[in-house]
Amino acid sequence: MDCRRSKHVTRHLCLTLCVLSSWSLVQEALGGGNNNKCWFPAIYNFGDSNSDTGAVSAAFTSVQPPNGETFFGTLSGRASDGRLIIDFITEELKLPYVSAYLNSVGSNYRHGANFATGGSSILPGGYSPFHLGLQVSQFIQFKSHTNILFNQLSDNGTDPPLKSGLPRPEEFSKAIYTIDIGQNDLAFGIQHGSMEQVRRSIPHILSQYSQSAQQLYNEGARVFWIHNTGPIGCLPYSYIYYEPKKGNIDANGCVKPHNELALEFNRQLKNQVFQLRKKLPLAKFTYVDVFKAKYQLISTAKSQGFVPPLEFCCGSFYGYHINCGKKAVVNGTVYGNPCKNPSQHVSWDGIHYSQAANQWIAKRILYGSFSDPPIPIGQACF
């Protein structure tokens, strides 16, 4: 519609119709022109160890077995016995498992890339150098370089094998962008300061989050699937190392002050998402309450066939601290052997979830029950 030539509607209404018309074209490009599912040719993920599929292994040191033993084997690069929630997302969207951006060996980026790195936070200066802003910068570089290379290969008039592993330039705007980060901002803050200091830092943390989302939008991202942070107070690690337990532990063994902090972070994150919707009207944002899904599993673990949620399968924090993937013999006692039945555990290593738990959570969040708006991921472009 040409608003300058319209004589039958007000300028305000005309502009509104122009925006709606533009969005309808975006929906059509994304596969939203029907009542079935969106077509996402690729997925680009940003986050921490909850969705890291090999970045820590590539950048620092290999994630050792028994990590990966249940599903992928010894070279999964994942802090779990098997699949992560991001893996179940790709399965639902019928996409290949997404390779870590930093993992140069044997990777195919035709259908997306994963920039999540274990230990990452939104703000710089936490456990990992790969904060969210750096991950977005990596994506921008990835997009630029792959576009140049794809066009160079296309100009040659042939389709060499290298080209088959590259994303198509026109598909970056049709992809889905998933973000799962923030847990380490809270955990690092709790470890190095007071609860009140962390609480006061949340607006600043989320302003950086918003800037990163804006950068992705400027690069063509239009569909965002955003996870809030989980109940960090329910991690066995939190319970073991939290000293003032009296009156601060709930019925499930979770550290209440830590969970309250996570809930406040999530409240402000949800508000931030609402503001992004207003600021970036051509984008679609789905806010996913992962906290609620994870806490539901933890509070009903026994009835769901799991052992008590504070029990974990791999590594040890009691008596002798040893991380999953390592072993030690102290005074004749062997530390580090994994449990025999990981699928019975909510927690894999005291910090990360087991494949069974990740699958349980994924089944709850992928179909809209914990989302705002309440839509399945397959319709996130509508």
Catalytic residue (one of 48, 49, 52, 227): 49
- The amino acid sitting at 149 is L
Q: Is residue 49 annotated as part of the catalytic site, yes or no? A: yes
In terms of phi and psi (left: phi > 0; alpha: psi -120 to 50; beta: otherwise), the region of 56 is alpha
Per the annotation, the verdict on 289 as an active-site residue is no
The single residue of 52, 289, 349, 354 carrying the catalytic annotation is 349
CA distances from 141 to 144, 146, 208, 213, 356 (A): 5, 8, 19, 16, 35
* Given the residues 111, 227, 258, 352, the one annotated as active site: 352
Q: Tell me the Cα Rg of the chain.
A: 22
Per-residue buried b or exposed e for 143-167, using 16+ beta carbons within 10 Å of the residue's own CB: beebbeebeebeeeeeeeeebeebb
Write down the number of H helices and E strands in the chain. 11, 8
Beta carbons of 317 and 240 less than 8 angstroms apart: yes
Distance from C-alpha of 136 to C-alpha of 139, rounded to nearest angstrom: 5
Decide if 103 contacts 77 (C-beta within 8 A): yes
Residue of 134, 111, 143, 146 lying closest to 59 (CA atoms): 134
167 touches 109 (CB < 8 A):
yes
Q: Which residues are known to be catalytic?
A: 49, 349, 352
